Amino acid sequence: MNRKLQALVLTALLVWLSTPSPAQFQGRITGRFVDPSGAPIEGVEVAIVSQRSAAIQFNLKTDKQGRFLQVGLMPGYYILNYKKSGFIPGSKDIRIGVAAEEALEFTLKPLEAALEKAVSEADKLFLKGNKLYADQKFAEAASVYREAIRLSPDNWGYWLNLGLSQKKAGQGEEALASFRKAVELNPESYSANKEAGEALAKAGQFAEARPFYEKAACLSPDDPDARYNLGVCLLSTGDSEAALLHFRKTFELKPDYADAYYQAGTILIGQNKVEEARAALEKFVELAPGDEKAALAKQLLEYLKK
C-alpha cells in the first residue's frame, strides 16, 4: 500500500472513529421514590412517554430501594407518569439532553381510600386516551381524557394531554383552555407553558403569549426552540432588541438553526449593522437554500451589497 493510499485510509478511519454513534447521543433517567417518612417505595409503576410520539414509551417499576433507571433515551421532552396503590399518582415533564443524565426524587403522599377507586379509574382512562392518541384518533382520545379529568380534575398531565389531542383535532380554542388549566395546576411545566404560548401565538395574541414563552425559556434555558419561540414572540410585540438576543442565543445553542439566522439578519438590517446582517443571511441561505424565505434573503443580500 503506497503512502498516499495509506493516508486516505487513515483519514477515512479517523472520520469513522470521530462520528458519534446513536448511543453517544442517548440520555438516561434515574429516580427514587420515598414516602413522607423517607422510606423507599417498591413497585411504583413508572411510564416515560415521549412528547414527540406517544408510541415511544418505556414502562418500569421501582426496586426495593425505591429506585428506577431508564437508559437509551433520545434527546427531547418526555412526560414521566407514576402510580402506586395507596399513594397519590402524578406526572412530571422532563427534558433529556444529548448524552445527559436526569436524576429525580419523588415523595409520594398517601391517598385516601375513598378517592383511590376514582383515581384508579381515571388512570385507566388516561392510558386508554394515550393509546388512542398514539393511533392518531385525536377526537376520541380527547373524549376519553375528559372522562379521566371528570374523575381526577387536578391532574395537570390529563389537561395537557387533552390539550394536545384537541390541538391535533383542530380545536384551537379548546386546546388553549386546556393548556391554560395545565399551567394553572403546574406552573413549572415547560410543556404546558410552551403549548399555551404556541396556542396564543397561533391566534395572533403575542402579548398574551409572551409570559408563557418567557416561562418556558426560563424553565429550559438551553433549549433552542424555547429561545427561538420567545424571540419570534418578542419581535411580534415590537421588542426587536430583546428578540435579537434570543435569536443569537438560539444559534449559539444550535449552530444549524437556520430560521434564527434569518430573523437575526432582518433585525440587523433595521439596525444598519450591514456586515453582521450579511453574515447572518448568508448563513441562512447556506443552511436552508430550499426554504421559501431563501429568495427574499438573497434579494436582501443583493441590497446590502449596494
CA 271 vs CA 174, 241, 250, 263: distances in Å: 40, 9, 20, 13
Sign of CA pseudo-dihedral 303, 264, 241, 230: positive
Residue 31, phi then psi, degrees to nearest 5: -155, 165
Q: What is the dihedral of CA 39, 41, 42, 43, to 10 degrees?
A: 170
What is the residue-level pLDDT of the chain in tens, covering all 306 positions? 445 444 443 443 333 344 444 455 688 899 999 999 999 999 999 999 887 766 788 999 999 999 999 998 888 888 898 989 888 888 888 888 777 788 999 999 887 766 777 778 888 898 899 889 989 999 999 999 999 999 889 999 999 999 999 999 999 999 999 999 999 999 999 999 999 999 999 999 999 999 999 999 999 888 899 999 999 999 999 999 999 999 999 999 999 999 999 999 999 999 999 999 999 999 999 999 999 999 999 999 998 887
Q: What's the burial of 45, exposed, middle or buried (CB within 10 Å: 0-12/13-18/19+)?
A: middle
Q: Where are the domains of the chain?
A: 20-111, 112-186, 205-305
CATH 3.40.50.300 fits 20-111, yes or no: no
Q: What is the pLDDT of residue 12?
A: 37
The third-level CATH classification (topology) of the domain covering 205-305 is 1.25.40
CA–CA gap between residue 115 and residue 159 (Å, rounded): 19
Q: Which residues, at least 6 apart from 80, have a Cβ–Cβ distance to it below 8 Å?
A: 29, 31, 46, 47, 48, 49, 91, 92, 93, 94, 104
Neighbours of 79 (CB within 10 A): 21
Three cell numbers written together for 228: 427561538
Please indicate whether the domains covering 112-186 and 205-305 agree at the CATH topology level: yes
CA–CA gap between residue 109 and residue 119 (Å, rounded): 14
CA 247 vs CA 13, 88, 153, 260: distances in Å: 37, 41, 38, 5
Three cell numbers written together for 292: 421559501
What is the maximal distance between C-alpha atoms in the chain?
81
Q: What is the pLDDT of residue 263?
A: 94
Is 193 in contact with 209 (CB distance < 8 Å)? no
CA–CA gap between residue 265 and residue 107 (Å, rounded): 48
Name the class of domain 112-186: mainly alpha
Which runs of consecutive H residues, i.e. helices, occur in the chain? 3-18, 22-25, 113-134, 138-151, 156-168, 172-185, 190-202, 206-219, 224-236, 240-253, 258-270, 274-287, 294-305
